[in-house]
Amino acid sequence: MATRVPEPRREPTLSRRQFLGGAARASAGTMIAPALLLSATGCRKAAPPAPPGEAETHTIRVTRFRGAPDGHEREIWGYNGQFPGPHIRVKEGETLRVKVINELSVPTSIHWHGMHQPGTWQMDGVEGVSGPPIAPSAEFVYEFRATPAGTHWYHSHTGVQYGDGLFGPLLVEESTPTDRYDREEILMLNDWFLEPGDTILERLLKGGMGKMSDKMEVKDRKDVGDIPFQSGLVNGKGRAPGDLKTPLTAVEVKKGETIRLRLINASSTYALRFQIDDHPLTVIATDGPPMKPVTVDHLLICNGERYDVLLEAKQGGARWIRAVTQDGNEILAILRYPDAPGAMPEAKPLQWGPRALTLEQMRAREPVALTEKPREIPLVLGGSMLPYRWGMNDQYYPRADPIEIARGEVIRFALRNPTGMDHPFHLHGHSFHVLGRSGALNLTDPVLKDTINVPSKGEVVIQWRADNPGRWFFHCHIEWHLATGMARVLEIK
Ligand code: C2O
Ligand code: CU
């Protein structure tokens, strides 16, 4: 079965009931990761394979509904009544065709984060860059070739909508497998706020977040989030601090199996450090393409980034899966073996293992032939609190010049970040090689990514070939930074 977007169902699915009504909440012992359930549902209902050249059309309805994924009820914006949205799975090189019906009262869009969209930049789904948004009651059919393979995701690229729930996983299967494992699981991580994104943004713009240390002036420690952390979810489930009963996502594993975990940080605000207690993780891919495997105890996943890690299930009992903000707020899920049915892990405080994934360890599997004389474009990140805005080279999108690039040109972006916050940058339509810090560039085997953190008071150099003509966005993936100007359009002609 090629693609697995479930058709909207009339009867509520288990995952839907779980967050629509407290009464119907499944007990911890019967929890099923929503993504897996959705995938199974889609598989059963999928249409027969389309004739060659004719892709099957999937349908996604964008709606609002009530739910309480962290125990607190609020309005969720979601796809097909599900949150996170349906798990979309397609083979590398196949055509994905998705009809999106906007049943919201405001415009929306879907961006396919990680898809290169060769020759189809109008399908990239960025409001105002790829084309107009989808008006209320209107529909739009996205159609593109799925490449590159790997772990990706899709989300609204209109306003600050994705933080309200408009995102889901997008998986592109490698035509030739790059690693061996027994099975896989998706862990979609996100921070979660009680208020709608529009309200949060309005408050930020008014300067009233109550946490307005001047981000240009943080001296001793860096600022890790523009708005106070409230809670976070793993595959749409979590607990606000102090809550001890809302069900958490549980990954059931058998001793002896190797599982490919596809980790996605779909947060609007926070980078998350990921660890599974007592379980080393072998990182095999990032943002799609494979990387030279490296075994670590924990890794930082910035907004928009993806990491594929192999987990060898060698223990027993139950352990915490932790995704932790850089100021220590924890998002939890459970790894559980059959010898501990329904058990919760021991309530012990977080202790990081000794090995953290470093940028220097992130390398391609093969040597890379880089163009020696790229066109270098320096980009200095900046911002202010009054007015609240974030930008590059003193310009604030949409009042910012597009960067014009000739087709085939090799571009080197030198990103410098003098601000007190990290800024995870995402490039649309291409992957780039991460060369690292100037003076210590990796010119031999730089890893390929599409999202890279530019650390506070630090810098990063990336290089890429502009071989995909079109209008592409390049921006910080923190929603509040993107919404207030930390973005540029790249025009490749
Ligand atoms: Cu994940 Cu421009 O976005
Ligand atoms: Cu930013």
Nearest to 472 by CA among 416, 437, 431: 431
Using CA atoms, how far residue 454 sits from 38, 57, 461, 462, in Å, is: 35, 38, 9, 11
Residue ranges of the chain with pLDDT lower than 70? 1-55, 209-221
**How many angstroms separate the alpha carbon of residue 350 from the centre of ligand 2?**
27
Ligand 1 atom closest to Cα of residue 487: 2
Structure tokens that stand for 363 in this block: 């390398």
Q: What is the reported pLDDT for 56?
A: 78
In sequence order, the β-bridge partners of residue 378 are 414
**Model pLDDT for residues 58-107, shown as the tens digit of each residue:** 999 999 999 999 999 999 999 999 999 999 999 999 999 999 999 999 99
In this structure, how many other beta carbons lie within 10 angstroms of the beta carbon of residue 235?
Answer: 30
Ligand number nearest to the C-alpha of 429: 1
**How many angstroms separate the alpha carbon of residue 422 from the centre of ligand 2?**
6
**How many angstroms separate the alpha carbon of residue 112 from the centre of ligand 1?**
8
Question: 484: burial class by Cβ within 10 Å (0-12, 13-18, 19+)?
Answer: buried
Q: What is the reported pLDDT for 30?
A: 29
Query: Is residue 7 a contact partner of residue 56, using CB atoms and an 8 Å limit?
Result: no
Question: 92: burial class by Cβ within 10 Å (0-12, 13-18, 19+)?
Answer: middle
Q: What is the reported pLDDT for 35?
A: 33
Query: Is residue 153 a contact partner of residue 231, using CB atoms and an 8 Å limit?
Result: no
Ligand 1 atom closest to Cα of residue 126: 2
Q: What is the reported pLDDT for 32?
A: 30
Which residues line the pocket of ligand 1, CB cutoff 6 A? 111, 113, 126, 155, 157, 304, 426, 428, 473, 475, 477
Q: What is the reported pLDDT for 241?
A: 83
Nearest CA, atom 3, ligand 1: 113
Q: What is the reported pLDDT for 382?
A: 97
Question: 487: burial class by Cβ within 10 Å (0-12, 13-18, 19+)?
Answer: buried
Q: Which helix (H) or strand (E) holds 17?
A: helix 14-20
Structure tokens that stand for 187 in this block: 């862990």
Ligand number nearest to the C-alpha of 455: 2
**C-alpha span between 26 and 342 (Å, rounded):** 12
Strand order in the sheet with 139-145: 74-79, 57-67, 95-102, 139-145
**How many angstroms separate the alpha carbon of residue 451 from the centre of ligand 2?**
12
**How many angstroms separate the alpha carbon of residue 223 from the centre of ligand 2?**
11
Exposure of 317 in the CB half-sphere (CA atoms within 13 A)? 10
Q: What is the reported pLDDT for 222?
A: 76
**C-alpha span between 261 and 243 (Å, rounded):** 27
**How many angstroms separate the alpha carbon of residue 56 from the centre of ligand 2?**
38
**Rounded to 5, what percent of the chain is helix, strand, coil?**
10, 40, 50
**C-alpha span between 479 and 434 (Å, rounded):** 23
**C-alpha span between 385 and 371 (Å, rounded):** 39
Nearest CA, atom 1, ligand 1: 113
Concatenating the DSSP letter of every residue in 362-425 gives: -B-SS-----SSPEEEEEEEEEEETTEEEEETTBBTTBSPPEEE-TT-EEEEEEEE-SSS-EEE
Tell me the longest C-alpha to C-alpha distance in the chain: 63
Residues found in the chain: 493
